[in-house]
Amino acid sequence: MRETSPVRYDSDRDTWDVFRYEDVYRVLSDHTTFSSNRNAIQNREDSASLIGMDPPQHTKFRNIVNRAFTPKRVADLAPRIEEITHELLDEAAGKGAIDLIEAFAGPLPVIVIAEILGIPREDRHLFKEWSDKLVESPDVQQADAYQASMMEKARVAQELGAYFKKQLDARRVNPGDDLLTVLLDAEVEGERLNEGQLLSFCLLLLVAGNETTTNLITNAVRAFTEQPELQTQLRKNPDLIPGAVEEALRYYSPVAAIPSRFATTDVELGGQMIKKGDQVVAWVASANRDEDKFPDADRFIVNRNPNAHLAFGWGIHFCLGAPLARLEGQIALQAIIERLPNIKLQADTELQPVTSTLVYAVKALPI
Ligand code: HEM
């Protein structure tokens, strides 16, 4: 596609697909021309969710939530993430064969975010169930199943909203040392988040942060099974782990496409005329394999430098959780490489891709 139709209109989906690095970069960087807020095009209300906002609303909201994700707050989490990582690997040890997602890569980010938010330990299992349901990828070909899954998601979002509301009310009376309390208190220019914004942000953290981090870890280990020499290289030289995380993000990008940009004006892109109001999908996974940007793009090179991948997006919506995802990815891969001496796919395994086109992932990684 990058060579033959780098910017292409798909009449079935009524969207433009953008495949080259240069064009994806432009769509993500130019938020004035490519809005994240569907409603803005129709002069309707602001978005309730950070990811769908444009400036100035986005700038204000992001400045508030940035307070909760400072580099120091994230760095301070390292010892606790290490502990959780080793607890999960201890449980998996001795089993011999495991599904990496079920035993490790699925629970890790959910436990971490639950602890950051200050969710009581006894509610963690509920939290994981809710989080899984929210990001479930129903089969779009099966209309009934799709409809049922969307209704279930709406029900779960409501249940989770009510749960967060209770937790927030408790923090108002008894502030804690957790993210919910920081979010309640954070203010910019005298403004705080209202209740609706707080709840939609909590939901966004789960939807944006859990499955993506699970897939980062799983995709990296998948690459290690496909190219065992990477395991040897990383065992010999653990300093290469942060580079391996970046390369995994580029090579098997967990978010394959960023689906929601809307042209605010008629604009030319890659030789095509995109009309005001048209939807544009930025194919990050394709941009990250663009040979014009990455020499030997189809090779996993642990010490690739520079590695300006777009796996966390770019511009004003650049992933808020990127420092946390990187930290979790580094700690997880370091522990896996140290503790699992020879990682192989189980015999006769055929990997099943997750059906969503927006996510690059497998349903299970039996190792
Ligand atoms: C935004 C990817 C982990 C929270 C984004 C965007 C991408 C992305 C591509 C940009 C979306 C856009 O431009 O419309 C990823 C990947 C992750 C990851 C690949 C893991 C490997 C996390 C984590 C959290 C998080 C752990 C939080 C705990 C967010 C939020 C936004 C966002 C809140 C919206 C930022 C904004 O609109 O200003 N992420 N993410 N993400 N991500 Fe992540």
Q: How far is the CA of 209 from the centre of ligand 1 (A)?
A: 6
Predicted pLDDT at 310: 98
pLDDT at 140: 65
What average pLDDT values come out for the chain (367 residues) when binned by 10 residues? 97 97 98 91 72 93 88 94 97 90 95 91 86 75 81 89 93 92 86 88 89 97 98 97 98 97 97 97 98 98 97 98 97 97 94 91 96
CB-based burial label for 83 (10 Å; 0-12, 13-18, 19+): exposed
**Distance, CA of 287 to CA of 270 (rounded, Å):** 14
Closest CA to 311 of 327, 328, 296, 326: 326
How much is the pLDDT for 148? 85
Q: How far is the CA of 93 from the centre of ligand 1 (A)?
A: 31
Ligand 1 mean position, distance from CA 317 (Å):
8
Contacts within 8 Å (CB) and 24+ apart, 166-171: 167/117, 167/118, 167/119, 168/195, 168/198, 168/199, 171/118
State how far the Cα of 158 lies from the Cα of 170, in Å rounded to an integer.
Answer: 19
Q: Report the alpha-carbon distance of residue 229 to residue 36 in Å, rounded.
A: 41
What is the number of the ligand 1 atom nearest to the C-alpha of 310?
9
The CATH label, of 1.10.630.10, 3.40.50.10800, 3.40.50.720, 3.40.50.2300, for the domain at 44-253+315-339 is 1.10.630.10
Q: What is residue 175's three-state secondary structure?
A: coil
Nearest-atom index, ligand 1, CA of 260: 14
Residues with CB under 6 Å of ligand 1 are 36, 50-51, 62, 113, 204-205, 208-209, 212-213, 216, 254-255, 258, 311-313, 317, 319-321, 324-325
Say what the pLDDT of residue 95 is: 85
In Å, how far are 162, 194, 340 from 200, measured between CA atoms?
Answer: 11, 10, 39
* Cα dihedral: 48, 106, 317, 357 (round 10): -90
Q: Nearest residue CA, atom 10 of ligand 1?
A: 313
Return the SS3 of 14: coil
Atom in ligand 1 nearest the alpha carbon of residue 328: 26
Q: What's the CA gap between 103 and 42, in Å, rounded?
A: 46
Count other Cβ atoms within 10 Å, centred on residue 158.
10
CA 37, CA 41: separation in Å to the nearest integer? 7
Q: What are phi and psi of 9, to 5 degrees?
A: -90, 130
Sign, CA torsion 276/282/157/13: positive
DSSP strand pairing (267-269 vs 191-192): unpaired
Beta-carbon-side half-sphere exposure of residue 172 (alpha carbons within 13 Å): 7
**pLDDT value at residue 24:** 98
Ligand 1 centroid to Cα of residue 236, in Å, is: 32
Q: How far is the CA of 211 from the centre of ligand 1 (A)?
A: 11
Q: Token pair for residue 245?
A: 């995380």
